[in-house]
Amino acid sequence: MLLVAPAAYVALVLILRLSGKRTLSKLNAFDFIVTIAIGSTLASVITTRSLSLLEGITALGLLVGLQYLVTATSVRWKGFHRAVTAEPTVLLRNGAPLVAAMKRQRITADELEAAVRQAGGRVLQDADVVILETDGSLTGVLRSI
């Protein structure tokens, strides 16, 4: 384990550097799942005696390669992009919460208020829109004065 763990770690860092910044970005559920799978694979390489270092590095490379293929395809074909990523959802418009959208996305009024405050507003009516982004974050856009 003292030899395999550092070797697997170095291999993973090199694979991630070669694959680009997008591989571990916080963009959508698919990216999150791949990030978890990479971590799980690395843990298996380190802790499973029956799994060779070469097999583990191959598995890590395969996961990162598949992520690269999916994201490259997503950039080129809009239909594929829609299939693997969620659409942003408007949760508040013109200072008024869109209750049905909030229920569908499981967002509370407190979370909307926090997004408005983070954008620099004080109350919901200060916001033009609050959007639930594809990565799960909330973006508040204040009304123009």
Q: What is the pLDDT of residues 84-131, one digit of tens each?
A: 888 899 999 999 999 999 999 999 999 999 999 999 999 999 999 999
Residue with tokens 């598949």: 66
- Report pLDDT for 134: 83
- Report pLDDT for 81: 87
**Beta-strand runs (E) in the chain:** 89-93, 96-97, 127-132, 138-142
- Report pLDDT for 106: 95
Six token digits for residue 49: 């005696």
First to last CA, the chain: 61
Query: Average pLDDT, stretch 124-140?
Result: 93
Closest CA to 133 of 63, 39, 111: 111
- Report pLDDT for 38: 87
Q: What is the pLDDT of residues 20-70, one digit of tens each?
A: 776 666 666 777 788 888 889 999 988 988 889 999 999 999 998 988 898
Amino acid at 127: A
Q: How many C-beta atoms lie closer than 10 Å to residue 87's C-beta? A: 8
Query: Average pLDDT, stretch 71-84?
Result: 89
- Residue 35 makes CB contacts below 8 A (sequence gap 6+) with 24
pTM of the model: 0.67
Q: How many C-beta atoms lie closer than 10 Å to residue 107's C-beta? A: 20
